[in-house]
Amino acid sequence: MDLITLPLFPLGLIAFPGEQVNLHIFEPRYKQLVHDCRDQKLSFGIAPYKEGHPMVIGTEMKLLEISQVYDDGKMDVKTQAMGIIRIHEFYSKLSGKLYPGAEVERVQRLPSTGDPNLAKAVLLLVKELYESSTVSTEVSEWHEDFTIYELAHKIGLSFEQELQLLHMEDEDERLHMVERHLKAFIPQVKKMQEMKAKIQMNGHFKNVQPPELG
């Protein structure tokens, strides 16, 4: 097992491989992390943070650019998720640094694409979800490199479900999980939309035909 030391950015979010993540940096320790990544061509890890502790599974990130530096030193940066890491030992501060770090293992995953028919069925469910919730976002068509990571933040998954997805090693397993989620979630969304419509109607003037009285 090959372990490497990475700077670590514990956050209350999950980054999926391939995803671009824009961050606003304001703490001195993470300003230092960004500068080190830029100057030393380092990658860093985003570890989902919950209940005061980083999770065991996280994502290795690369710094794409520092988009803006403000007068007070705060920064807007663009990063991209490269792959999954497993954290073996966490350090609240790396030696000589302000920021945390960890000994991590790069997790080798199976080929990322899954069963095309399953992926297309999931995409149809995503379209149904958006139509049911009147979301105007378009769902892209299936393509050979499609993975469910592309839509993982846009289908109503909870933080715990997203973390579960990050742990799964096989794309078909991830697709089946999302399929189950959508089949349970879509009826709830439709019911909420019906309730919303009823509430809105209650505030309107109604043209009601009274019954004929004998």
**For 110-164, how does the pLDDT look when each residue is reduced to its tens digit (9 = 90+)?**
667 789 999 999 999 999 999 888 777 778 789 989 999 999 999 999 999 999 9
Q: What is the pLDDT of residue 34?
A: 97
Q: From CA 23, how far away is CA 78, in angstroms rounded?
A: 6
* Coil vs helix vs strand at 87: strand
Mean predicted confidence (pLDDT) in 38-54 = 89
- The model's pLDDT over 66-80, given as tens digits with 9 standing for 90+, comes to 999 999 999 999 999
Kindly tell me the burial class for residue 140, based on how many C-beta atoms sit within 10 Å of its own C-beta (0-12, 13-18, 19 or more).
Answer: exposed
Among residues 62, 60, 72, 57, the alpha carbon closest in space to that of 25 is found at 72
